[in-house]
Structures are given as C-alpha cells and as structure tokens.
Amino acid sequence: MFGRNKKKLRKEYDEELLYLIDQAKKNWDHARQTEQAVYEVDEELVAETQLAKAKYQFLYQEAKLRNVRGHIQSSVIDH
C-alpha cells in the first residue's frame, strides 16, 4: 500500500536526476569547447568550466549512491 507511492516517487526522482545529469554533461562539454575555442582564456572562463565539471561530477556521484540505472554509460566519466 505505502510501498507503491515510495517506489513511484523514487522512480520519478531518479528520472529527474538522469535528466539533470544529461544537462550538466552538455553544459560541461559546452564550457570545455568554449575554453578550447577562445584564444585568450581568462580566469572566469576557467572557473565556469570547473564549476560545470563539479556539478556534473556531483550529480554523477549522487546517481551512483542511489544505484540509479539508466542510459548513463560508464565511459561517460572517462575524460
């Protein structure tokens, strides 16, 4: 009775987490590409790239802790 709601909520939040991981990965990739494309890289650009990387890694670790399985490949984290 109560277990169904818990499972449903967990699945819903797991899907949200996967979506956030996808968005964070795209943002990080974009920040890295921007950093590589710019001739004179300033501290702000480097900081934005590092922040995007930290957000992605945090969400990825959260997914690992929650044992979320989805469309995330283990090779995604290989940089």
Helix, strand, or coil here: 38?
coil
pLDDT by residue (tens digit) across 1-28? 566 788 888 889 999 999 999 999 999 9
Give the span between the Cα atoms of 26 and 62, in whole angstroms.
18
**Does this model's pTM top 0.85?**
no
Asked if residue 55 belongs to a domain, the reply is: yes
Give the span between the Cα atoms of 71 and 21, in whole angstroms.
11
Asked if residue 27 belongs to a domain, the reply is: no
Decide: 49 and 35 in contact? Cβ < 8 Å. yes
Distance from first CA to last CA of the chain, Å, rounded?
A: 44
pLDDT, residue 76, reads 53
pLDDT at 54 over 90: yes
pLDDT at 40 over 90: no
Please give the average per-residue pLDDT across 44-64, as a whole number.
Answer: 95
Query: Can you give the residue range of the structural domain that contains 74?
Result: 32-78
Number of compact structural domains in the chain: 1
pLDDT at 74 over 60: no
Give the span between the Cα atoms of 70 and 73, in whole angstroms.
8
